[in-house]
Amino acid sequence: MASISNLWTEYLQGQNNPTAQDFGIWLIRKGEGVQLDTVPFQADLEPGELTIQSAILVGRLQRFLHFLTKPFLKNAGISEDELVVLASLLFIQDVPKTVLLKQCLIEIPTGSELLKRMKKSGLILEKKHPGDARSSIISISAKGKKLILHTFYSMNSMEDALQVLSLEERTILVELLNKLDNYHSHRHEILQMTELMKLN
């Protein structure tokens, strides 16, 4: 079995991007048969090593969730970023474009093109900012609201990605993720998920 340090060395030797998320994706693409001679939560690991392992595992889980949600997004005709934007607009109404993209963790150049496509598709509405001629105000359209609610409803039939966890384990997982979301949201000066959902 390969050690995490040996795999990391092999990854860097391929002149790959030295980030934990990209390393996690590389491990997935490396194929089945990759086994680590490590066990979860080793007490002898340094905090930085635990952070890397956590980032890899979270990145892998995100990829697994991508596979589960892909058919539903395809049926709805929207991308993951469009899903995030529409879901956010369910809770924040008439929001400046830059504020919306920041809240959705989407970079401005990419997000601007995304919003143009969504406006053309009739999923969002855009109007001039009354106090800033360089900005605009974004809101969800009736078509966009209907689409996102229907998509969420259809996802009720999606496979349970956490089915191996007990109710207690799920509760602990959500508490930990909320704690991390709170920390990073305030660092980036955006609303955390629980704050966002209280707006509606």
Domain that holds residue 16: 1-76
The answer to whether residues 82 and 155 belong to one domain is: yes
DSSP state of 37: S
Across 14-23, 76-85, 102-111, 157-166, least confident range: 14-23
Same domain, 98 and 52: no
CATH number of the domain to which 144 belongs: 1.10.10.10
Tokens coding 54: 């956590």
Compute the average pLDDT of residues 92-108: 92
Contact 12, 18 (CB under 8 A): yes
Percent of the chain at pLDDT > 90 equals: 60
Among 35, 117, 74, smallest CA distance to 126 is for: 117
For 147-167, letters b (16+ CB in 10 Å) and e give bbeebeeeeeeeeeeeeeeee
Retrieve residue 22's tokens: 């990209």
User: Which pLDDT score, from 0 to 100, does residue 98 have?
Assistant: 92
> What pLDDT was estimated at residue 44?
65
Torsion angles phi and psi, residue 100, rounded to 5: -60, -50
Q: What are the DSSP calls for 180-191, one per residue?
A: HHHHHHHHTTS-
Which carries the bigger pLDDT value, residue 33 or residue 181?
181
Q: What is the pLDDT of residue 38?
A: 46
* pLDDT at site 1: 46
Q: Are 84 and 125 in the same domain?
A: yes
197 and 136 within one domain: no
The tally of domains found in the chain comes to 3
Q: Is 20 exposed, middle or buried (0-12, 13-18, 19+ CB in 10 A)?
A: middle
Whether residue 149 sits in one domain with residue 193: no
For residue range 25-81, list pLDDT tens digits in order: 777 766 545 554 444 545 566 788 888 888 888 999 999 999 999 999 999 999 999
Residues 72 and 84 grouped into a single domain:
no
Q: Report the run of H or E that residue 173 belongs to, with start and end.
A: helix 167-187
Q: Which tokens belong to 16?
A: 């790959």
